[in-house]
Structure formats: C-alpha cells, structure tokens
Structure 1
Amino acid sequence: MKDPYPTTEDSGTVRLRLDLAYDGTDFHGWARQKPADGAEIRTVQASIEDALSKVLRHPVRLTVAGRTDAGVHATGQVAHVDVPRASLTTRSIDDDPSNLVRRLARLLPEDVRIHRCSFAPDGFDARFSALRRHYAYRVTTHPRGALPTRARDTAHWSKPVDFAVMRESAEILTGLNDFAAFCRAKEGATTVRDLQAFTWHDISTPAEPQLYLAEVTADAFCWSMVRSLVGACLAVGEGRRPAGFTAGLLDERKRSQLVPVAPANGLTLVGVDYPDDAELAERAEQTRGVRVLEGEEHRARGKGCPERNPYFEAAPGATDEGGARPASAPGGAG
C-alpha cells in the first residue's frame, strides 16, 4: 500500500515525527474542537498546531498515536505532521528538524513540550503504524488524598482496596478479547483489543502510603477503556463488586453500567511502540482493517508485549507487592 503522505523530494512534502509530553489537567483532551458559538476550546492538538503553524508560516494538521481524553496526561505521546519542504528551508530549519524543538519551546504553553522532532521514515503513520500503547495509572486510597505535589497526576479513590484481589482482577483480562463492556460505544468501531499487559504494583512509601500503580499495554484502546479497566479493578478491590466480576464482563457485548470510570488525572500515556522501518507501511495497512470476532479468534492480531518494557522500568519506586521492582513487565496473551 502506497503511503498517502509521501516524503520524497519530488512531492515537495515531508513528514515529521514529533515526540511530546503534556500535563492534561487544563486541557479538554487532545483533539481540536470548537463549540457551537465558535470559540476555541483549549486542547493539546490546537496548542501545538497553532505554534507549529506560526513557526513554519503554513497551516498544519497533526495525527496522533493516542487521542487522550480531557485531564489525561502524556510523557511519551507521538504525532506526525506533513509540511512543505520549502517551509523548512525558508524558516532556516533545513535538514535539521530538531531546530523546531527550541523554537516551539518559546511558543508553547508550559504544560506542553516537544521532546524531539525528526524526519519520519517512509510509511510512518503515528496512529496506524503503532504496535502498542503503554499507559500508567497512579492512584491513592489514603484518606487525605494525593500529596499536593502529585495531585495533578495521582487520582484519589475514597475506599481502601484489597491489593491481591485487585491484581487478580486485572490479570484475568489480558489477551485478545472483546472489551465492549469497558468501552463507550462508537458507531462502526470495533471493541476487540489485544490487552497485552495489565499489572498492578504497590508503590507505597512513608510519604505516600496506600499508593498503587497500574501498568496497561494494548495494541490499541477504545474510548475510556483504560480508565474503565482501572475502575473495574478498584471496584472489586474495595468489595463493591464480587470476585470474578471482571472476567464476567468479557462476555458482555455492550457498555456495562456496572463499570465505574476512574478519574482522568491518574492516567498517563507513557509510550508508543513501532516496528522496524521496513515494516511500518505493512503495519499501517494491517491496522486499518476492521476487526471481526469469529468465536474467540480474530484475523488481525497485534504483536506481543516485549519481555522488557523500558516505559515502566523507569517508574520510580514501583514494587511488586511490597518487594523488589520487577525487571520486566509481564507479557500478555497476544
């Protein structure tokens, strides 16, 4: 399949890859949007597009790996943008797009930062070429709530939880399943996903007791899926839902009203994986295919989660049920 956004000299267009981070607290999500009165709503996409358009003096449109909801953060988000090659030359970017990092830093608000800007390899699509997305969810059940210095990225769950039960409730969900019970309905969209890892860690410290971290990896996620997965486990952990509740939800084929959606502020997109450059276009074509369940199987499977997961290994203080931090994230059934 030919890449619809070529990056050749002849086309006059070049594709850039942006690696970025943001504090989602004060944004209405990733996607650019306008209300009925025409006033601009503050979104991550709009902030970056406006700054980039100003630098290049050319309107741009970003495509992102994961369209995060309002209040959700990112430390490892990936996007691409197609720009006229001439605009890079006239704006003294030339063959070094990393120069954009410094220029954008002067224009972007403090809660958005571009880590890296580079030429994208042929066939790269930030959304469709991705193999998997990695999310982390940070939550405390301590009565006082999160520390003031972590309140923006740590959710508060008002009831204490049984950690072992919560962890079991998560592990049973891994694999290729229909997660309709955990997803908000979207017409024409599939809810079949390959949940490659879903693990809870007790990361409590004397300063932050009753603190837990969920690490969630899948080939893709549907709307509100991660927060619903987390919310279901927390509900079982506090005893509001019975043991086996999450396993039973896999038999549902529509959104379950029994599944609570965990608060947005605890969720962070920490990384996105891509295949080798030679496989980018093939992966994008495969991902565009609509998934259809035939019994318990599916024709479009994601590649399994890697044994070692650098996105989660860097998480400070994460422990395995109070013990040493595991060297690798467990791989889910693929």
Structure 2
Amino acid sequence: MTRYALGVEYDGSDFLGWQRLSKPGEQDPGSLQAALEEALSFVAASPIQTVCAGRTDAGVHAACQVVHFDSDVPREPRGWMLGATSRLPAAICVRWCQAVAGDFHARFSARARRYRYRLLNRPVRPALERQYLAWERRPLDAGAMHRAAQVLLGEQDFSAFRTVHCQAPHARRDMQAIEVRREGEQVVFELQANAFLHHMVRNIVGSLLEVGAGERPERWIGDVLQGRDRTLAGPTAPAEGLVFLGPRYGAEWRLPAEVTL
C-alpha cells in the first residue's frame, strides 16, 4: 500500500463545498471530494477515499488543496495526476502527485494554512473575473483595516469569528500573519494560521470591512475578539472572493515548495 499526496486546484463556484455529501458509491449532489474520488477510482479501477488539508465551503476556490490517499494499485505519480485530471470537470485539476511516507497526513501534518480574499472596491460591480471577486461599493481604507487586523495575531480564542454551526472542539487558533493591502481598485486580505474555524476568514473580512468603511473604529476588532460572541462581529463576507492558497508542511515531507515552510 502506497500513500500519495496530491496538489489540487479548483474553481468552487458550481460546487457545494469540499466535503462529500453522500456515501461512497452513491450519487453525490455536487461536492469536490466526490468528483475527485470518482476520478481517482477510475484510474485505480478500485474505490479510493481521500483526506484533505482543509475543507472549503460552497463557492470557495483553491489554488493548491493538498489531499492524500492510499492505494496498492501500481501507478506512477504522473499517471495518477494526468489520469485523474482527464476524468475531472473542467473546474478541477490535479497539479501534482507524489508518493509520501505512510505517516504523512494531509490535515494533521500541516503546520499552517493560507487564504487570500480579493474584493473589488468601486461603485460598479465586476463583470470580468466576477466569480473570483467580492464587491464593495463603499470606499474602503485598506490601511485602517490592516492596522485593526494586527490585534488578531497570536494564539487567541476566535469564538467571535466562527459560525454557530462550527463543529471544532475549541476556538483557539494561532494567527501567524494577516495583511490587508490595496492593489488599484482591489483590496486584498491574506491570512495564515495554524488552522481556521468554519467561516473564520469570511467573518474576519466582514468585520474589517466595517472598519474600512469608517463605520467602526480600528480598536473595535479587538473588542469583538475579546467579546467572544459571534453576534458582536460584522457580517460574513461572500464566498466568491475567497481562495484557499494551501497548507504548509515541514521540509521533512519533501513536498513542492509552495506548500513547504
């Protein structure tokens, strides 16, 4: 039995999120996991089950989701990569595949995860790239949002920024980096943490937008964090602006540079 790691890219616009919504072998209503497993199972001519680094919600995209699976079928990594991609919808591709040590785990071996959120900030909604951009018509102060966000750094309780449906056993997470910057008409949010809670990135962005629009002072983000109450934070930002850049692992796993610390 060999364990393989995959780097998977996808446009989540037309999917109901990563997690499989049916049992293996049953018709799935539209999850990314089911589509990938069906493609890999075709290549293997036997059932394949996958584990991902971080489940994404409906409408969220990924530049390099990392997945692992086990198989005793003799296939070269290139065969898994090209064979699976040939059976996947156009919105999903396997960018790379390699054999890894048997104790590698896509989720538990990851030391960090990175997200990027892009937002078009102008009076008129986007026409081009609209599936990858959120939109805010109010003028935004990116500098104020960046300054306000720095209070989120470090290991803290992020209860105020997770959905009430979050199933994580606790809300403590280590925010390793957070940046807000303006790139022309776009505002870009980049976050890295050891792990994220359900809707955590989108709830942080939605709250920072209140600061950027001048409706809340910069210190308000710290007050929300300390309050640990989701009802005190801002609204959940739309899904389409969010891209999971990927997890990051220690160098000992010998994975591609884009997912290595």
After TM superposition, the score normalised by the length of structure 1 is 0.72
Shift of 1:278: 7.2
Equivalent residue in structure 2 for 1:31, among 19, 24, 29:
19
Unpaired segments of 5 or more residues in structure 1? 1-12, 205-209, 280-308, 312-334
Structure-2 residue corresponding to 1:141: 121
Equivalent residue in structure 1 for 2:110, among 126, 130, 138:
130
Structure-2 residue corresponding to 1:168: 147
The structure-2 alpha-carbon separation of the partners of 1:188 and 1:154, relative to structure 1 and needing over 3 Å to count, comes to: closer
CA distance in 1, matches of 2:168, 2:13: 30
Structure-1 residue corresponding to 2:180: 200
CA distance in 2, matches of 1:22, 1:188: 25
Aligned length: 255
| Structure 1 letter corresponding to 2:155 | L
Please tell me whether Structure 1 or Structure 2 has the larger radius of gyration of its CA atoms.
1
Equivalent residue in structure 1 for 2:55, among 59, 63, 67:
67
| Structure 2 letter corresponding to 1:172 | V
Unpaired segments of 5 or more residues in structure 2? none
In the TM superposition, 1:1-334 aligns within 5 A as: 13-34=1-22, 40-83=28-71, 85=72, 87-88=73-74, 93=75, 96-146=76-126, 148-185=127-164, 186-187=166-167, 189-204=169-184, 210-277=185-252
Shift of 1:62: 0.8
Which structure has more strand as a fraction of its residues? Answer: 2
CA distance in 2, matches of 1:188, 1:173: 19
| Structure 2 letter corresponding to 1:55 | V
The structure-2 alpha-carbon separation of the partners of 1:310 and 1:212, relative to structure 1 and needing over 3 Å to count, comes to: farther
Kindly indicate whether the alpha-carbon contact (under 8 Å) linking 1:122 and 1:277 is maintained by their aligned counterparts in 2.
no
CA distance in 2, matches of 1:220, 1:258: 20
Shift of 1:260: 1.0
SS at match of 1:76: strand
Kindly indicate whether the alpha-carbon contact (under 8 Å) linking 1:121 and 1:277 is maintained by their aligned counterparts in 2.
no
The structure-2 alpha-carbon separation of the partners of 1:76 and 1:253, relative to structure 1 and needing over 3 Å to count, comes to: same
Residues 268-293 of structure 1: per-residue CA shift (max 9 Å, x gap) = 011211113379xxxxxxxxxxxxxx
Kindly indicate whether the alpha-carbon contact (under 8 Å) linking 1:28 and 1:42 is maintained by their aligned counterparts in 2.
yes
The structure-2 alpha-carbon separation of the partners of 1:278 and 1:213, relative to structure 1 and needing over 3 Å to count, comes to: closer
CA distance in 2, matches of 1:71, 1:245: 29
Shift of 1:239: 2.2
The structure-2 alpha-carbon separation of the partners of 1:98 and 1:39, relative to structure 1 and needing over 3 Å to count, comes to: closer
Kindly indicate whether the alpha-carbon contact (under 8 Å) linking 1:20 and 1:113 is maintained by their aligned counterparts in 2.
yes
Kindly indicate whether the alpha-carbon contact (under 8 Å) linking 2:224 and 2:232 is maintained by their aligned counterparts in 1.
no
Which structure has more helix as a fraction of its residues? Answer: 2
Q: Which runs of 4+ in 1 moved over 6 A?
A: none
SS at match of 1:123: coil
Kindly indicate whether the alpha-carbon contact (under 8 Å) linking 2:104 and 2:253 is maintained by their aligned counterparts in 1.
no
The structure-2 alpha-carbon separation of the partners of 1:251 and 1:257, relative to structure 1 and needing over 3 Å to count, comes to: closer
The structure-2 alpha-carbon separation of the partners of 1:278 and 1:199, relative to structure 1 and needing over 3 Å to count, comes to: closer
The structure-2 alpha-carbon separation of the partners of 1:246 and 1:190, relative to structure 1 and needing over 3 Å to count, comes to: same
Shift of 1:212: 0.9
Task: Quote the RMSD (CA, aligned, Å).
Answer: 2.2
